[in-house]
Structures are given as C-alpha cells and as structure tokens.
Structure 1
Amino acid sequence: MLNIAIDDSDSLYRNGMEIFLKEIFLEEQTEPVQINSLNRTNATQVDIIVKSFVAGAEYVCQPLLKHRVKPGVIIGIYDGDESPHHNELPLCIKNIVFINRAEPLSTAREQVIQAWKDNAENAKPLNRKKCLKCKYRTLTPQQVTIAKHLLRGYDIIDIAKLLEIHVKTVSAHKRLMMSKFNLSTDCELLQFLKNLKSHNPPINMFMDRCL
C-alpha cells in the first residue's frame, strides 16, 4: 500500500491530484494507493507528500516535514510563472519537486515518475535535520510586530502611530520582508504572512536567528 498525504486548500485541485496520483501509481507500482490529509501524525510515515506553497513559503521552515526520516517524495504545488526552487531551500524540503498548478498533466506526470524513480534508487533513511545549520529565513522581532498589525488590516500609517515610530521605518521593514521572501505585491505579502501564521510554530518561534 502506497501512502500519500496532501495539504492543499483548493478542494477541486486536490480531488484532481488524488485521481492523478492513483492513476500513476496503480499503473507504475501496480499497488493500491491510500490518500489522507497531511498532519503531524502521518507526515513522518507517508511515502509521498503533496503540499501547496504560497509565494515565499519555500524560504521558511516547514515544521511538519522537518522530522521525516522515511525516504519518500515531496511534491510542492505552486502558482505563478516563477518556480520557487532556489539554491538555499530549507533542509526539510531540499529534494522537493515543484509542480506548477497550471502544469500540463503530461509534464507533471513525467516529473512525479522521475522523482519516484530517483527516490527508489536512493531509498535509505533520511538524516535527522540539523536545524541550526539550516538556511531557512525568518522575521526579526520588529518585523513580527509589524506583520501582526498587517494581518489585522492596518496600513503603514496606522502601524506607525500604534508603535510610535516613523512611517518610513514601517515602510522600510515592509520592503525588507518582501525582499527577504521574494514577494512582489502586498497581496503576496499578506498571503505569505497568513500561511506563516497557520503552518509554523507560535510567532515568537520564527523570529530572526541568523539573518
């Protein structure tokens, strides 16, 4: 039995992905497939993980994935024209395969099959992640404070008044956050912060350690 766990809020896409993966692995592996939602319990045990990534999420720690020791495939689903793959991916997603949500099925199929073959050829237990050596990016304490207010819907003028600092200081921190996580728009920034809040440890746990 091949175990797959999926984390994607788009139910229509998720249903399509489930059918897609079942067809691939029933054909390639000739064995049944069991699919569940990704959670802390199954994250370390499944053979394949499918996880959606908003812009910027590829730079931060992925708590659900960092304790994985069982070899397997991680498939990252993303939107937009620019691939999230870069040379300093966090250790927990170092060997991830990114697939665009608008990818042709034939291309996605080739990527998934190749990733599974590569995994089979290197099927040895994964080393426990050494987080202190990881290059994942985080927020500074001041950026955490500003991020909280942005998520509450305040603009930079409101935030400057609340924190009793100059509006240019708030604006500079906002620009730094967007630059650090390669975000292009305010919409991407808010989506990234919402994702960070919901998927990562308490907000004081992802303050700046090394940047």
Structure 2
Amino acid sequence: MMNNEPIELQVTFDDDNQVFSEGLWQLLKDIFNQQQGKVLNRNYALPMDSALQFSDIYVSSFNAGEELICRPQMKLRKAKSLLIAVCNGLNEPKIKILPHCLRGCVFVRRTESIESIRDKIEHAWAFLNNKNYVAETEEKMCLSCFPVRLTDVEERVVTYFYRGFSLAQIANIRGMHVKTVSAHKRAVMNKLNLSSSAELIHIMHNWAPNIAQKDLHIMDFRKKKLPIRKKEVQPNSRLHTARDIENVVEKSAPIKIAKQNKKETVFNILKEMCHPHSSTKGNKNEVLPLSVTEWPKTRDIADECDDSVYVARYWLTLLEKEGRVRRVWARGVRWGV
C-alpha cells in the first residue's frame, strides 16, 4: 500500500522585518502547499545553528557586502536546502563570485514584485531537487573557497575610518597622500560591493574579523588597537640592517611626543639611527657611522617617532636650518648628523 502522506518541510526566518517575513511566509505556503502539496512547518524557537541544520527553507536578511564574506555558520546548512537571502544593499549582489556555502542562494529584495520572487523560488527549488544535483561536502566546500580578504594597507585605512578619522587625518597619520587613502577605501568598497560609507561602517562593525587578511589576525577593528609600523635597528658586525616589525598598541592614534621635547627627540633618534652601536671583543660599545647611502629616510624617522611624515619633515627642516643635521639625495631624501 502506497504512503500518501504529504512531505513536511521545515522553514525558518531570520529577519527582523516581521511584516515582510509574514508576507513571504504566505507566498511560500501558496507555492508549496497549494501547488506542490507539501506541508510547511515554521520554526520559531530554534537557535541559528540548529535551524540551519534542520531547515529545508531558510530565510535570512543580508546587508550590503555580507554575501561576499566568509560566514562559517553557513556551512552547517542542510544538504539541498533552499537559502533565501533578503538583500538590503543598494547594489546588486555579485552572484558569480559567491562563497561556496552560498551557492544556489536566492537573492530577493523587499521592493521586488511577488511574481518575480515566486519565479526565483520555484526555479531554485527545482534545481536543488534535480536528480543530477550533488551537494558539496563541508571539507570540499571550504578548501576550494576563496572569500574576500583585505590587504594590510586596506585594513589599516578602513580601521582608522571606522574609528572616526577623516581621509585627511588618515593620510597625515599614515604618511600617505589623501588620494591614496581614498583609493584604498574605494578598493575596499569595490571588493565588498558597497555603495556608501554607511554600508562600509556597518559591515566593519559586524564582520571585521571575517574580512581580515588572515584567519587568526591580530587586529580587530572593533577594539582600541591600531597597528603602527616601526623600524627596529639591529647591528650586524659593521653593517647596518633594519627589519620591519609590527607593533600593535592600544591607543586611538599614534603617540604624539610633547611639543617642547619633540625637536630634540627627533634629533636624538636620527643620531642613534646614523650611529648604531656594535659590541667589540672588549665588551665596549663602538660607534659605527653609516655611509650617506645608508642614512635614514624621512619615513623611517617618522616611524621611529610614531608620527606622520609631515611632522617629522617639519622638525628635520628646523634642525637643518640650525646646522645640526644634513640633507642629501641618495635614492631619495636622506638625513644624517
């Protein structure tokens, strides 16, 4: 005897707009109950992880750019389940470069017509239930996926921007031209398919660690930690070597040296950089002056002072007028004592 019991589908809504959710719920019942003879059961109390594992249809709101970033919880989705993403951004989603866990997702807008939403849902459901369709495993899905990541410079620029600094202030702090800072900000917005600064701040607030360059990145945009690049001078025999190190300090902006001591501090830093000490056999320190081509550049001195290039150049110019430092051109402007 054949079993004529209707198929029951679990549906979960993760959307704060209850009016739209109720309208979409009625549309789903019309599509599956009346046309396909399936029974829909709406879940209200399940947590997100459990809902993703057991739901046949999952409806979630997506803000601008969220469809392009890594969302680890999405790999918990039930195999051949239908994900309906309600888009809130102004730009159209970039469907061709979606993460693997969002493949087959249906993107709809709140202002879209009912017939358009109906056609998308019916087409996606038919595709998922095709006999030739095979869902990817979690391991294969993640290993072959390359979500959007930001470079180190882009991370720094958007970090300062999220903290409330203007583009001109960021350019002054990082020693860049304001147009360069603007170009990095625009590159981040293009990567994440954003149309406004408000959308950038919103995605930074919610998903900053997910778009960092590395999975275990030391920087969290939402904390009071900003990266400051310094030069650490380490003598090697009679040769001057320098290597970049990343110092992450808990402060809202680079340290500013007190005005009354700033000029002398810049002079002392330059003197130390031009005459690094090396230990001799007699355990005495010997001064090893550098050649002109090894003198530090303005940016190197600014990094040591934890200040901008413009401020460092100002004090170096005053010291040059006093005859205490020299400026030469050797593959760039260099300073010496």
TM over 0.5: yes
Corresponding position of 2:55: 46
Corresponding position of 2:204: 193
SS at match of 1:147: helix
Which moved further from structure 2: 188-197 or 54-63?
A: 188-197
8 Å Cα contact 2:90-2:195 kept in structure 1: no
Corresponding position of 1:9: 16
Corresponding position of 1:95: 104
| TM-score, structure 2 as length reference | 0.52
State the alpha-carbon separation in 2 of the partners of residues 40 and 141 from structure 1: 32
- Mapping of 1:149-160 within 5 angstroms? 149-160=160-171
- Mapping of 1:1-211 within 5 angstroms? 1-27=8-34, 28-36=36-44, 39-79=48-88, 82-122=91-131, 125-128=135-138, 129-161=140-172, 163-166=173-176, 168=178, 169-197=180-208, 203=209, 206-208=211-213
Which moved further from structure 2: 71-80 or 150-159?
A: 150-159
Corresponding position of 2:300: none
SS at match of 2:67: helix
8 Å Cα contact 1:5-1:38 kept in structure 2: no
8 Å Cα contact 1:69-1:126 kept in structure 2: no
Structure 1 stretches lacking a partner, 5+ long: 198-202
AA partner of residue 21 (structure 1): L
Shift of residue 124 of structure 1?
5.1
Distance 1:77 1:90, change over 3 A: same
SS at match of 1:66: helix
Bigger-Rg structure (1/2): 2
Higher strand share: 2
Q: Deviations over 1:87-146 (max 9, x none)?
A: 221101121121122111122112212222222224755422432421311223443343
SS at match of 1:149: helix
Distance 1:35 1:100, change over 3 A: same
Q: Deviations over 1:136-172 (max 9, x none)?
A: 11223443343343333332234445x5433534323
Number of paired residues?
202
State the alpha-carbon separation in 1 of the partners of residues 47 and 112 from structure 2: 22
| Fraction of identical pairs, as percent | 29
8 Å Cα contact 2:99-2:146 kept in structure 1: yes
SS at match of 2:74: coil
SS at match of 2:53: coil
Shift of residue 81 of structure 1?
6.6
AA partner of residue 119 (structure 1): L
AA partner of residue 14 (structure 1): S
Structure 2 stretches lacking a partner, 5+ long: 1-7, 215-337
8 Å Cα contact 2:91-2:194 kept in structure 1: no
Shift of residue 10 of structure 1?
2.6
AA partner of residue 188 (structure 2): M
| TM-score, structure 1 as length reference | 0.79
Distance 1:107 1:193, change over 3 A: same
Distance 1:121 1:164, change over 3 A: closer
Distance 1:72 1:146, change over 3 A: same
SS at match of 1:77: strand
Which moved further from structure 2: 3-12 or 29-38?
A: 29-38
Corresponding position of 1:200: none
8 Å Cα contact 1:76-1:96 kept in structure 2: yes
